Amino acid sequence: MLDAKNNFFHNYMNLLDETLLERDYTMMKADISRNEGEYCIEIDLPGVEKDNIKIEYHKGYLTVEANRTNEEDIDGEYIRKERYFGMYRRSFYVGDIDITNIKAKYKDGILTIHFPEITEETYTKKQIKID
């Protein structure tokens, strides 16, 4: 009976490890901060070449896509493979921003995106006539 419980626990943990944690490998880890009138998003993209990163802004969403390729060949076979290779994609809702002032840099596997905070002074105020 004890062996059956241990096998169940072991199989359950393997299932948990393979399904719920699998998403963790494909998700971009990000830190978002605000300082002196601007926002900063820092995203970990280890092993991704700069040319394989694309940033787009559309309808209030800042979307980052990255493609990490696996070019290494090994002698033998993998026992376990946890590093994810392929397309990453993550969107951040940032609202209306001045897209001409979005700045991005990529260094040492970290993508840093800066964009200004929108304040009420940024918007044009207009009185709307009611007919």
Reported confidence tier of residue 76, pLDDT bands at 50, 70, 90 = confident
Strand partners, 92: 62
Structure tokens at 112: 């840093």
Q: Answer whether residue 99 shows pLDDT above 80.
A: yes
Q: Mind listing the domains of the chain with CATH numbers?
A: 29-118 (2.60.40.790)
- Residue-wise pLDDT for 2-46, tens only, equals 554 445 444 444 444 444 444 454 578 999 999 988 999 999 998
How big is the chain by its Cα radius of gyration, in Å? 22
Report d(CA 8, CA 4) in Å as an integer.
Answer: 6
Phi, psi of 44 (to 5 degrees): -80, 125
Give CA 56 to chain center in angstroms.
Answer: 13
